[in-house]
Amino acid sequence: MEAVARSVFRVYNYHEIRTPILEETQLFARGVGADTDIVTKEMYTFEDRDGSSLTLRPENTASVIRSYIEHRMDQLPGVKKLYYMGPMFRRERPQKGRYRQFYQIGAEAIGSESPLVDAEVIEMVVELLSLAGLKGFKLLINSVGDKHCRPRYVETLRERLKSVAPGMCGDCQRRAESNPLRVLDCKVAADQPVIEALPSILDYLCAECGEHFAAVRRRLDDAGIEYEVTPRMVRGLDYYMRTTFEVVHGALGSQNSVLGGGRYDGLAESLGSKVPAPGIGFSIGEDRLVMSVESEQAASALDLLIAPLGEAAQKCGAAMARDFRRAGISVELAEGKLKRAMELANKVGARFALIVGDDELAAGRYALKNLTTGEQESLTAGEIAARLAPPRN
């Protein structure tokens, strides 16, 4: 998954950033949102020796923006395109594909408000998932407005929830007053009919946010990218504004999100930046992506198992293995009798087996057996390398 992601990031001109696993707790309280589940329930936080509060990073966008501000990346030309891979930590109930130490692949495009950047990021996401082998996934998109139009929607939501929240789950009852948008993110099945009947944020967008969202959709349509507009999707982090998106996949059950992201104009200012740094990004739950793909995609087969017969053949086989590996061919060098070597080749799913004995050494030609068809050929080492070498990009 990571190799595919790096190849996609490279062609979209993204560059790697590595942030600390430990950050000051206040970074996440201010950036992610003091009333989010991540901050109130899930963070691993402890007091350092000097009395300062530290937290194992629960997500990485806030850390990337902190680094962006600290190193004055705003002075660099163009949109700053950064990607990361690594462990995050949340103390939530373990479930299918969700772990307390989990891995994320993510990216951030910082320095532009353009809806074209939003569409390009979403296009990159679809390309990455497709190349990773994920099939049958669904892209959901929405707009959550901005600081000009969202407050009116939030107040409307708060008023509407006064009459219905008492019949909802405990979290929704608490959020109905403190953070009404979070009610829309509730996953409790019994609350869904109530949530579906609440006002749609799309009816409250200001003209600028409405046009921004329409421009994102036009560009996705032009690119032939299928999506579903989901007005109740607000994501679980307070810093999101305007475009939000999510990718879901049926292999993961009810908690079916593989990837989520959105625009976060204003996050840098909330973290102390005097220079605006509008941006958009996403993070992939790498564990969940692997789980979704592995049922559809067979593991990479071993290209070649070399079966040397005797000490001289063992020495020759080791040299051949080294040369083949340098040519990009995956090789396993077996030991022992031929029967055992062929049993191993079948167990590990090798595509070919190469038999190296005294006769082969004398002739300089080796028996290459196709383990799928059963066909066997006598070839030189160079011919074998040419036959098995992976195609060049």
* CATH code for the domain of 367: 3.40.50.800
pLDDT value of position 274: 83
Which of 118, 138, 142, 140 has the alpha carbon at shortest distance from 231? 142
Same domain, 260 and 384: no
Q: CA 71, CA 13: separation in Å to the nearest integer?
A: 20
pLDDT of residue 18: 95
Q: Is the CB of residue 366 less than 8 Å from the CB of residue 355? A: yes
Q: HSE of 39 in the Cβ direction (CA atoms, 13 Å)?
A: 17
- Shared-domain flag, residues 260 and 372: no
Which helix (H) or strand (E) covers residue 228, if one does? strand 228-229
Q: Which residues contact 300 (CB under 8 A, 6 or more apart)?
A: 330
Q: Are residues 98 and 229 in the same domain?
A: yes
Name beta bridge partners: 98.
95
Residues in the chain: 393
Residue 277 CB burial class (10 angstroms; 0-12, 13-18, ≥19): buried
Question: Does some domain include residue 325?
Answer: yes
Any domain includes 156: no
d(CA 270, CA 69): 11
Same domain, 274 and 332: no
Measure the CA–CA gap between 155 and 28, rounded to whole angstroms.
25
What is the residue whose two structure tokens read 């949102």?
33
Both 10 and 115 in a single domain? yes
Instruction: Enumerate the β-bridge partners of residue 263.
Output: 241, 280
What pTM, to 2 d.p., does this model score?
0.75
The verdict on 282 and 309 lying in the same domain is no
pLDDT at 40: 67
On whether residue 227 sits in a domain, the answer given is yes
Please indicate, yes or no, whether residues 339 and 273 belong to a single structural domain of this protein.
no
Asked if residue 167 belongs to a domain, the reply is no
**Residue 171 forms part of a structural domain:** no
Does residue 44 fall inside a structural domain? yes
User: Which residue, among 147, 106, 99, 97, has the nearest Cα to 5 in the 3D structure?
Assistant: 106
- Determine the pLDDT at residue 94: 67
Cα-based distances in Å from 194 to 161, 269, 371: 9, 35, 59
The pLDDT assigned to 282 comes to: 93
Q: Flag whether 239 is in a domain.
A: yes
How many domains in the chain? 2
Residues 24 and 80 in one domain: yes
Together in a domain, 76 and 224? yes
Q: Are residues 319 and 287 in the same domain?
A: no
203 token code pair: 């009816």
Is residue 375 included in any domain, yes or no?
A: yes
| Ordered alpha helix ranges (H), the chain | 2-11, 25-31, 37, 61-70, 115-131, 150-164, 170-178, 192-196, 207-222, 267-270, 286-294, 311-326, 338-347, 358-363, 381-388
Domain ends where: 231, 259, 294?
294
| CA atoms of 281 and 235, how far apart (whole Å) | 13
Domain boundary, last residue among 276, 294, 312? 294
Chosen domain end from 261, 294, 327: 294
Q: What angle do CA 240, 245, 251 make, to 5 degrees?
A: 130
Asked if residue 321 and residue 213 are part of one domain, the reply reads no
Domain CATH number, residue 52: 3.30.930.10
- Same structural domain, 220 and 242: yes
User: In the chain, which stretches have pLDDT less than 70?
Assistant: 31-40, 94-97, 235-238, 251-255, 295-300, 391-393
Distances (CA, A) of 250 to 126, 230, 243: 16, 17, 24
Domain, as residue range, for 141: 2-149+205-294
